[in-house]
A and B are shown apart, each in its own frame.
Chain A
Amino acid sequence: MVIPEIPIGKVVESGVYWLNDNFGFLMDIFSKFIDFLISGFKDILMFLPPIAFIFVISILVYIVSRRDLKLTIGTAIGFALIESMDLWNLSIETIALVLASALVALVVGIPTGIMAAKNETIFSIVKPVLDFMQTMPSFVYLIPAVIFFGLGNVPGLVATIVFAMPPAIRLTNLGIRQVPVELREVANAFGTTSMQKLIKVELPVALPTIMAGVNQCIMLSLSMVVIAAMIGARGLGYQVLVGIQRVDIAQGFEAGLGIVIIAIVLDRLTQSITPKE
């Protein structure tokens, strides 16, 4: 008895090709939009020369972190180190990719999370999709991304968005669901509309949890942006990739260090924005 071979891979493959043939124009529009986002962020970040940028970002960190001097000085030294390793442009490109993908992931993810929290039907659909998205190895996203968008920054970003979105959805959903019953009752008892209830009570109360989701989303974006170098995304990830391929320890290590610096700054920054009890 031989179990017949079911051509799952082939079926998916032909489906992906079919989508590409018939909805290619949508992909093009999407691709243009992503490109625009990335270059937009890049232009903004590149506007200032490194020294001025370090100065501005330090002041920004100082204000946002509510005068955390350690974080401010650390940020300044970290970025100075990046510049001294001659990784400035690559780092800016990586940051632009992270910001662009996190932005899209959050703009889609947070409203989805809110809807999932409000509606059990939506939740029951979203939940298995999220499970699926998160259990898939991140490399797997690269394949359809390449088929639809070719090589380069755009497919890298698409894979990143898909990879980084689940925590934003999950934690928004969780945050809204965890709003104490009495606070909902307060909102209702004083005659709020459901929109008022959401904006004046639920979102502010859920904010710390939602911000944890934002933090996760940004951190996952960074990790995926590096992996996406395999399909042509540029930035520090590409530098690491080349370092691996050529067994160039120096280059690989420097690029890796740059990524770590960016990761720490982004992490601390998003965490310090989160309101404390």
Chain B
Amino acid sequence: MNFDVYEGETFVLMGLSGSGKSTLLRCLNRLIDPSDGHILIDGDDIATMNDKELREARRKKMSMVFQSFALLPHKTVIDNVAFGLEVQGIPKEERYTKAEEAIVKVGLKGHEASKTSQLSGGMQQRVGLARALATDPDILLMDEAFSALDPLIRSEMQDELIALQDKLKKTIVFVSHDLDEALKIGDRIAIMKDGVIAQIGTAEEILTNPADDYVSEFVAGVDRTKILTAENVMKRPEPVVSINSGLTVAMQLMKKHGISSIFVVDPEKTIKGILLIDDAVKAVKEKRTLHDVLITDVPTVAPDEPVKDIIPMVAESQFPLAVVNERNKLLGVIVRGSILGALTIKEED
């Protein structure tokens, strides 16, 4: 296999147990010696380094977070966090200063002197994360880092990792067997099967365009409402009627397309409102204009709004949803049917 991990991205190695993802991760810092091939970090080949170079790379370039937390039971929280610095021979005062920074980053302030066995699982893994951050490495290797945590804490930790990564911009290689987790935190995901990579891509690419049967089966159970956004499920905004046209034009368009409402836009396609067919018929009888019956309070969503949040809006609203950009330009329309269509797994088309 051959793959690149870009600087500053979160790259998820994803697969079932036995697919070789943890082994692959351990090859990156040579906890397992690769039998063949090259691992280049900034152009230096980890696979051919001698012991001294390897030690240096492990100390400065990368650090690791473990599934079982793997905290040293005889050390306090701050000494655990400072472990990597201690190994480098950094004097106590300096390493405590740096460790303290890392502890603050993961939100463990006040627990410095605690014994690790007194902490809950989530807090223990925060210590593990702080330990990895304390040496300020470029690369974080995370081996099923959140798998041992219960679901609520796991989700919380994922959110915090994402927030932390927004600030720190480390290169993270994250191993996971949980597809929802991979889709949530990964900029790109590699799906592994039997020691080879079946597909590499963004969450959306993998969901919408699986490379083979294995991948499509793999992603079949995914909660698509969390991944897909308004952009993915919206229809082209057709037909629309210009604000300058008359009611008759609008009615004709609705009749032609068999719809009961139509969006009204100005020449820049900025949304002005929605017109219902019943209102239009009534207005024509009463000789009123389009402006009089136009409903301007139209529900709109941004194109990156997840479908999960759109579903309740669609359910409550009697009109279609308008997808608009920040300048209120109409980009698309979402009706109930378009969401249902997007959520059903696409057959070969």
Q: Which residues of B contact A196 (CB under 8 A)?
A: 87
Whether A9 sits at the interface, judged by CB under 8 Å, is no
Whether A5 sits at the interface, judged by CB under 8 Å, is no
Q: How many residues of A contact B (CB 8 A)?
A: 20
**CB-contact partner of B70 in A182, A192, A200, under 8 A:** A182
Chain B nearest CB from A186 CB (Å) reads 5
- Among A180, A186, A190, A196, chain B packs the most CB atoms within 10 A around the CB of A190
Whether A277 sits at the interface, judged by CB under 8 Å, is yes
- Is A191's CB under 8 angstroms from B83's CB? no
- Is A188's CB under 8 angstroms from B72's CB? no
Contact with B along A182-211 (1 / 0, CB 8 A): 110111111111001000110011010000
Contact with A along B175-211 (1 / 0, CB 8 A): 0000000000000000000000000000000000000
**CB-contact partner of B68 in A182, A191, A200, under 8 A:** A182
- CA A187 to CA B86, docked complex, whole Å: 11
Considering the complex, give the chain B residue whose CB is closest to the CB of A190.
Answer: B84
Whether B29 sits at the interface, judged by CB under 8 Å, is yes
Chain B residues 36 to 85 lying within 8 A of chain A, measured CB to CB, are 54-59, 63-64, 66-68, 70, 72-75, 83-84
* Known contacts A185-B64, A200-B87; A191/B70 CB under 8 A: no
Whether A137 sits at the interface, judged by CB under 8 Å, is no
- Is A193's CB under 8 angstroms from B72's CB? no
Chain A residues 199 to 226 lying within 8 A of chain B, measured CB to CB, are 200-201, 204-205, 207
Q: Which residues of A contact B141 (CB under 8 A)?
A: 189
* Known contacts A185-B64, A190-B84, A191-B59; A277/B135 CB under 8 A: no
- Is B31's CB under 8 angstroms from A188's CB? yes
Whether B248 sits at the interface, judged by CB under 8 Å, is no
Chain B residues 13 to 34 lying within 8 A of chain A, measured CB to CB, are 26, 29, 31
Whether B245 sits at the interface, judged by CB under 8 Å, is no
Whether A275 sits at the interface, judged by CB under 8 Å, is yes
- Is A191's CB under 8 angstroms from B87's CB? yes
- Is B74's CB under 8 angstroms from A205's CB? yes
- CA A188 to CA B64, docked complex, whole Å: 10
**CB-contact partner of B72 in A191, A205, A275, A277, under 8 A:** A205
Whether B88 sits at the interface, judged by CB under 8 Å, is yes
- CA A183 to CA B80, docked complex, whole Å: 12
- Is A277's CB under 8 angstroms from B83's CB? no
- Is A275's CB under 8 angstroms from B74's CB? yes
- Is A189's CB under 8 angstroms from B87's CB? no
* Known contacts A189-B29, A191-B56; A277/B73 CB under 8 A: yes
Contact with B along A161-196 (1 / 0, CB 8 A): 000000000000000000010110111111111001
- Is A207's CB under 8 angstroms from B74's CB? yes
Chain B nearest CB from A196 CB (Å) reads 6
Whether B114 sits at the interface, judged by CB under 8 Å, is no
Q: Which residues of A contact B26 (CB under 8 A)?
A: 185
Whether B117 sits at the interface, judged by CB under 8 Å, is yes
Q: Which residues of A contact B54 (CB under 8 A)?
A: 191
- CA A182 to CA B63, docked complex, whole Å: 14
* Known contacts A191-B88, A277-B117; A185/B70 CB under 8 A: yes
**CB-contact partner of A204 in B63, B72, B117, under 8 A:** B72
Q: Which residues of A contact B73 (CB under 8 A)?
A: 205, 277
* Known contacts A196-B87, A200-B86, A277-B117; A190/B63 CB under 8 A: yes
- CA A193 to CA B52, docked complex, whole Å: 9
Beyond A191-B87, A193-B55, 19 extra complex contacts between A and B, CB < 8 Å: A182-B66, A182-B68, A183-B72, A185-B31, A185-B64, A186-B72, A188-B31, A188-B58, A189-B31, A189-B58, A189-B63, A189-B141, A190-B63, A190-B135, A191-B84, A201-B72, A204-B75, A205-B73, A277-B117
27 A-B contact pairs sorted by A residue (CB < 8 Å): A180-B68, A180-B70, A182-B68, A182-B70, A183-B70, A185-B26, A185-B64, A185-B66, A186-B64, A187-B87, A188-B58, A189-B31, A189-B58, A189-B64, A190-B58, A190-B83, A191-B56, A191-B57, A191-B84, A192-B55, A192-B87, A200-B72, A200-B87, A204-B72, A204-B75, A275-B74, A277-B73
